[in-house]
Amino acid sequence: MPTVARAVAISLLSSLMGVASSHAQDALGPLKLPTRAFVVDGGVIALQGGVMRSPDMPPGPIGKFRHPTQYFLIVRNETSAPVWIDLEWRFPREDPKQLKTGRVDSGKFYRSWRNTFGVVSDAPINIRIAVFADEARTRHLGSEETFLLFTNAERETFLKTAFREGRNTLMTGWPEMGHPDQNVPGTLADAELQTDIQMLLWKEESKQHRDCTHESSRAEPVPADSSSIIAAMLAGDNAAATSARNLLERSRDTGQTGLVRLERWYVRSCDALTAYEVLLLASPGGGTDIIVRQAGEQAGGGSAPTR
C-alpha cells in the first residue's frame, strides 16, 4: 500500500492509511486523499490529483531515468446524471494535452494519468475541465481551472522517499490542503475520525474557497435532535428514514450517545469562518458513517463511510 504525502507539510502520514473517506478512492485503492470539488448544473464534480512513483516503468540507471513518475487526476461525477468531460493538462514549457472522456455515469469516476520522469517543482501544472450533459457537447454544465503544485523541498523529499528509500509513495497536489489537525478542540472524535471529518470539510470548503487553507478551529457537541440532516432523513419514507428513526430511538432509550452524535465544527478559510453540522452515525457494518452539511443548509453537503 502506498504512503501518502501532503503537497503542503510533506510529512509521511501514517494517519492517512486505511479505508477511504471519499468515494473516489476506488481508483487508487484504500487511500485517503484530499478532494477538491466544484459545482456544476445538477450537482458537484470532485477532483483528486497528485504524483506517484510510476507503476508502469522501472527506474533507469542514470539521469532523469532514475525517477519514473506518474501524474494522476481522478474526476468523479457526483451529479445525478451521466456527464461527458473535456480535460486539458498544461505542463510548463509543453503544449497542452487535451482529452475527451466517454460517458461517466453518476457515482463513477474518470482517471487521467501521464507517465514521465521527475517532478515539476515551484511551477503550477494547470488543469482545465469542462463538463457536458451530452456526448455532442452541446449542453455545458460547468467548468473549472485548477492546478497541481509542489515546492522544490517537497520534490526532493518525495524523490528520496520513493526512490532512494524504495518506498511506494504518493504526493497529493492541492497546495492549500495540508496536514489535518488530530487534536481539534471540543470534538469527541478520535484522531483517525478527525482526519476523515476534515477531509470532507475541506472538500465542502473548496467549492467556495478553493485556494485558501482550511483550518478546523474548534468543535462542540450539540443535541442530535436538532440536526437538520436527521430531520431531512426522517422526512422521507424509505430505508434511510427508518434507519435514522431506529438509531435515534436506541440512542434515547439506552443512553448510547455514540450511536448518533452531532457536532458543530468551525472551519476558517482565508477570512471566512463557516459552521458545519457533522453527524456521526454507527454503521450497520461496524465503524462510523460521517455526514457533513453547512449549518443552516437544507440540502447538499457531503457524506462518506469510514473505517
Residue 24 has pLDDT above 50, yes or no: no
The pLDDT of residue 210 is: 80
Q: How many residues make up the chain in this entry? A: 307
Q: What is the mean pLDDT of residues 77-95?
A: 95
Q: Is the pLDDT of residue 11 over 70?
A: no
Indicate the pairing of strand 140-148 with strand 125-132.
antiparallel
Q: Distance between CA atoms of 64 and 295, rounded to whole angstroms?
A: 50
Domains and CATH numbers, the chain: 3-172 (2.60.40.10), 191-306 (no CATH)
pLDDT at residue number 244: 66
Q: What share of the chain is helix, strand, coil (3-state, %, to 5)?
A: 20, 40, 40
Beta-carbon count within 10 A of 190 CB? 11
Q: Contact at 8 Å (CB) between 32 and 64?
A: no
Distance CA 298, CA 227 (A): 10
pLDDT at 164: 80
Q: What is the mean pLDDT of residues 124-138?
A: 96
The better pLDDT of the pair 138, 281 is held by 138
Taking 50 as the threshold, does the pLDDT of residue 7 lie above it?
A: no
Distance (Å, rounded) from C-alpha 161 to C-alpha 40? 38
pLDDT confidence of residue 121 = 94
pLDDT at 138: 97
Strands 109-117 and 140-148: unpaired
**Which of these, 235, 237, 261, 264, lies nearest to 248 by C-alpha position?**
261
Supply the pLDDT for residue 168: 75
Contact present, 193 and 288 (Cβ < 8 Å):
yes
Structure confidence at residue 25 (pLDDT):
37
How far is residue 187's CA from residue 277's CA, in Å, rounded to a whole number? 12
pLDDT tens-digit readout, 220-250: 998 877 778 777 777 766 676 676 677 666 6
> Which pLDDT belongs to residue 252?
58
Q: Which three cell numbers stand for residue 250?
A: 436506541
Rounded Cα distance between 268 and 78, Å, is: 25
